[in-house]
Structure 1
């Protein structure tokens, strides 16, 4: 499949920057769907072995706080917070390597790009960790159960991250020189056929 994917990459590049970026966006969507599944389903699986007491343990640290259902008094506490953020971290690690290698065909130095990616990811995870309890409170105030509230919260945070990561990754992961040369050769071949 990698040879087929490389052929599609070259064909897209030969059509110009706009088509190439559109093709990268399509590949990014596929990778992001995998990250989305990890980010929305994994918290539910992670919390299975957790005790109810740990899941609902109240906490308040910096901008992070537990979410309390105003109607039932149920606290989505430390355990759920940790489950949601662990899943987010795992999803972003997977996305980094797949997007670098497959989506953007980049050979960017991991020692340089990974720390930049980590800082950006930590900022987004902090934002999501702040937003998630707020969304959970909102959904539970509208009689949505805890699992569905957690799922919807993860989905919304994942969507926000999706729209921020594509332009960031596009800048962070320049194409390999050989991929640029192959794309230019493919473009020249298309132009010669057109003449």
Structure 2
């Protein structure tokens, strides 16, 4: 184990950006699995314990040429995969995932010692904007996945595609939000 640790330490010193991306990817993968697990069970809870899945949730309508969709498009489906219940499960899942992801990325991946409140504020702004962009993109590929794949595979595909898109967007944003080193003194 010590040999692997020494190898990784040497590698990380020589290839800092690659090492950061590997850590970022590993933590993002962990958070993606957490999201998948939560999104597997939470919608069923909302479906069984509330009537929220019978309330349509279609927010922020966009019509951009051939794309006519909602940023958050959760129509009633008659099961746990639609309506306000699924949107609530989705929102809770995203929030909890970010509560896990923020400290891991800030403290371990980027080793940032900047002002935590400033970083939280920018993280929340980035999170909201990226969630809106990814949700818009989901309006394009989710109907295709639903049409061609069974629900168990559909959930995995949606989680992987959405997680992959977010990782490509988040890494450079995190490099800005989480600068390395000590907080600058005024």
Q: TM-score range by the shorter chain?
A: 0.7 to 0.9
Question: Match for 1:132 among 138, 161, 164?
Answer: 138
Q: Which runs of 5+ in 2 are unaligned?
A: 61-70
Q: Which runs of 5+ in 1 are unaligned?
A: 178-195
- More contact order relative to length (CA 8 Å, sep ≥ 6): 1
The structural deviation recorded for 1:41 is: 2.1
Pair 65,153 (structure 1): closer, same or farther in 2 beyond 3 Å: same
2:113 is aligned with 1:115: no
> In 2, Cα distance between the equivalents of 1:75 and 1:45?
11
Aligned length: 169
Report the 3-state secondary structure (helix = DSSP H, G, I; strand = E; otherwise coil) of the residue aligned with 2:46: coil
Report the 3-state secondary structure (helix = DSSP H, G, I; strand = E; otherwise coil) of the residue aligned with 1:48: helix
CA RMSD of aligned residues (A): 3.1
* Bigger Rg, which one: 1
Counterparts of residues 135-150 of structure 1 (less than 5 Å): 135-142=141-148, 144-150=149-155
- Segment drifting more, 147-156 vs 72-81: 72-81
Pair 56,132 (structure 1): closer, same or farther in 2 beyond 3 Å: farther
Pair 35,158 (structure 1): closer, same or farther in 2 beyond 3 Å: same
2:162 is aligned with 1:161: no
> In 1, Cα distance between the equivalents of 2:40 and 2:161?
16
Partner of residue 55, structure 2: 57
Is the contact between residue 43 and residue 85 of structure 2 (CA under 8 Å) also seen in structure 1? yes
Superposition TM-score, scaled by structure 1 size: 0.73
Partner of residue 180, structure 2: 175
Superposition TM-score, scaled by structure 2 size: 0.76
**Per-residue deviation, residues 22-71 of structure 1 (Å, max 9, x unmatched):** 111111111111111122221111123222653353222223222577xx
Q: Which has the higher strand share?
A: 2
Partner of residue 84, structure 1: 90
Question: Match for 2:157 among 141, 152, 155?
Answer: 152
